[in-house]
Amino acid sequence: MSAPRTPSRRRVLTVLSAAGAATCLVPLAGCASGPSGLIPAGNIDALAVGDLSAVAGMMVAIGLDAGGLYAVTTICTHLDCDMSEQGSISATELVCDCHGSVFDGAGGVVTGPATQPLEFFAVEVDAEGEITIDADSVVDASERVTV
* CA 100/CA 120 separation, integer angstroms: 21
In angstroms, the CA 38 to CA 34 distance is 13
Q: Which domains does the chain have, with CATH numbers?
A: 38-139 (2.102.10.10)
Task: Please give the chain's pLDDT, 147 residues, in tens.
Answer: 556 666 666 665 555 555 444 443 334 444 457 788 899 999 999 999 999 999 998 999 999 999 999 999 999 999 889 998 999 999 899 999 999 999 998 889 999 899 999 999 999 999 999 999 999 999 999 999 998
Q: Is the pTM of this model over 0.95?
A: no
